[in-house]
Amino acid sequence: MKMVQMKKAVNFLENIKKTDEIVVVFNNDGDGISSCVLLNKFLAKTGRKKPYIINQPMPMDKNIIQRIQTTVPHKIIFLDIAADQQQNVLKKLGGICDMMIVDHHQVFKNMNQPKDASSMRRTSVVVHYNPRMERHDVYQSTSYCVYKICSKIIDMSEDLWIAGVGMVSDYNLNDSKDLVKILKEKYGLSEPLYGTKLGRIADMISATRAVNALSCEQMVEVLEKANFEGFEEAKNADKMIEARDAIEKEMASLLQDVEEHSEKIGKILFYNIKSKFNLGSSLSTKVSENFQKDLVIIYERSGNRVKVSARNQAKNINAGLVLQRAASSAGGSGGGHEAAAGATISAENWEKFREILIKSVNKS
Give 118's contacts (C-beta < 8 A, 6+ positions apart): none
Q: What is the pTM of this model?
A: 0.84
Mean residue pLDDT across the chain: 93
Mean pLDDT of 236-255: 96
Closest CA to 102 of 5, 28, 191, 200: 5
SS3 342: strand
Whole-Å CA distances, 2 to 145, 148, 327: 11, 12, 32
pLDDT digits (tens, 9 = 90+) for 99-123: 999 999 989 899 998 765 444 344 5
Mean pLDDT of 32-58: 97
What's the CA gap between 337 and 341, in Å, rounded?
6
End-to-end CA distance of the chain: 35
Please tell me the predicted confidence (pLDDT) of residue 119. Answer: 42
Confidence bin at 1 (pLDDT 50/70/90): low
Stretch (H or E) spanning 261: helix 237-261
DSSP notation for 33-48 = HHHHHHHHHHHHHTTP
Please tell me the predicted confidence (pLDDT) of residue 123. Answer: 58
pLDDT digits (tens, 9 = 90+) for 209-221: 999 999 999 999 9
Please tell me the predicted confidence (pLDDT) of residue 225. Answer: 97
Please tell me the predicted confidence (pLDDT) of residue 82. Answer: 93
What's the CA gap between 101 and 88, in Å, rounded?
15
pLDDT digits (tens, 9 = 90+) for 219-235: 999 999 999 999 999 99
Please tell me the predicted confidence (pLDDT) of residue 86. Answer: 92
Beta pairing partners, 342:
309, 335
Pairing of strands 263-265, 126-129: unpaired
Chain centroid, CA 342 distance in Å = 11
User: Is 50 a residue whose pLDDT tops 90?
Assistant: yes
153 — phi, psi (to 5°)? -110, -45
Please tell me the predicted confidence (pLDDT) of residue 170. Answer: 87
Please tell me the predicted confidence (pLDDT) of residue 124. Answer: 78
User: Is 41 a residue whose pLDDT tops 60?
Assistant: yes
Mean pLDDT of 76-97: 92
Domains in the chain, please, with CATH? 2-224 (3.90.1640.30), 262-362 (3.10.310.40)
DSSP notation for 134-189 = T-TT----HHHHHHHHHHTTS--GGGHHHHHHHHHHTT--TT-HHHHHHHHHHHT-
267, 293 Cβ separation under 8 angstroms: yes
Give 151's contacts (C-beta < 8 A, 6+ positions apart): 157
Mean pLDDT of 237-246: 97
